[in-house]
Amino acid sequence: MSATKPLPESVLISESCLQNRIRELGTQISTDYENRELILLGVLRGSVLFFADLSRAIFGAQLTDAGREVQIRFEFVQLTSYHNSRKPSRVQLIHGGSDYLEQRHVLIVEDIVDTGHTLKFLSEYLRTLNPKTVKVCTLLDKPSQRQVPVAIDYIGFEIPDAFVVGYGLDYAQQYRNLPYIAVLDET
């Protein structure tokens, strides 16, 4: 580990807090999409841990009485940016042809909404693929940093303006595997 690498300073959201809230989100999403097929669209790479836990908190056929279930399909997108720009410039669908979201219910699963540029870019792109509905679920929301307005349907936690890592979120590809969310000490 290099001497200049910032260290996670303090736990902002504990593992148990994350898991409790994700169970609540899963129950809410299960109710909202009852008896429908839902495409969970994970935004790589930050949403991976959240995606894995959220998908297991959404009731599948195996856990519920007959007639009460949400059929889930997993899909992923990756967004890339130009050099030195935080605004995304390209969406890459990891799987599927251009018509695979057509007339489907899609739920974007994001790690964090900060300026809102990523979500705006992705939403506009998805609209061209003609899905039936598109909603957004983000684990974290930093509303104080918003530069463009975006609609978010499910929010895990609103957080203050701090750089956070863990539970999928990184600093220079580090810390993604922390089981909690921590504030990074960049001093």
DSSP state of 76: E
Strands (E), the chain: 7-13, 37-44, 71-81, 88-93, 105-113, 133-141, 154-158, 164-165, 181-185
Q: How far is CA 153 from CA 29, 41, 135, 141, 165, in A?
A: 10, 14, 6, 11, 23
Closest CA to 45 of 78, 74, 22: 78
Member of 28, 115, 123, 174 binding ligand IMP (CB under 6 A): 115
Active site residue 111: no
Q: What is the phi/psi pair of residue 75, to 5°?
A: -140, 160
- The answer to the question of residue 49 lying near ligand IMP (CB under 6 A) is no
Member of 13, 70, 104, 118 binding ligand IMP (CB under 6 A): 118
Using the minimum distance from each CB to ligand IMP, give the nearer residue, 70 or 140: 140
- The answer to the question of residue 164 lying near ligand IMP (CB under 6 A) is yes
Closest CA to 51 of 79, 72, 68: 72
Using the minimum distance from each CB to ligand IMP, give the nearer residue, 70 or 79: 79
Shortest Å distance, C-beta 97 to ligand IMP: 25
Token digits of residue 18: 């994350």
Choose the stretch contacting ligand IMP; rule: CB under 6 A; options: 6-14, 32-40, 51-59, 108-116. Answer: 108-116
Choose the stretch contacting ligand IMP; rule: CB under 6 A; options: 1-9, 56-64, 100-108, 116-124. Answer: 116-124
Member of 22, 112, 134, 139 binding ligand IMP (CB under 6 A): 112
Sign of CA dihedral 90, 96, 102, 107: negative
- The answer to the question of residue 156 lying near ligand IMP (CB under 6 A) is no
Annotated catalytic residue, options 53, 111, 114, 141: 114
Q: Please state whether beta strands 88-93 and 71-81 pair in parallel, antiparallel, or not at all (unpaired).
A: antiparallel
Kindly determine how many residues on this chain lie close enough to bind ligand IMP according to the rule CB under 6 A. 14
Binding site for ligand IMP (CB under 6 A): 46, 86, 111-118, 163-165, 169
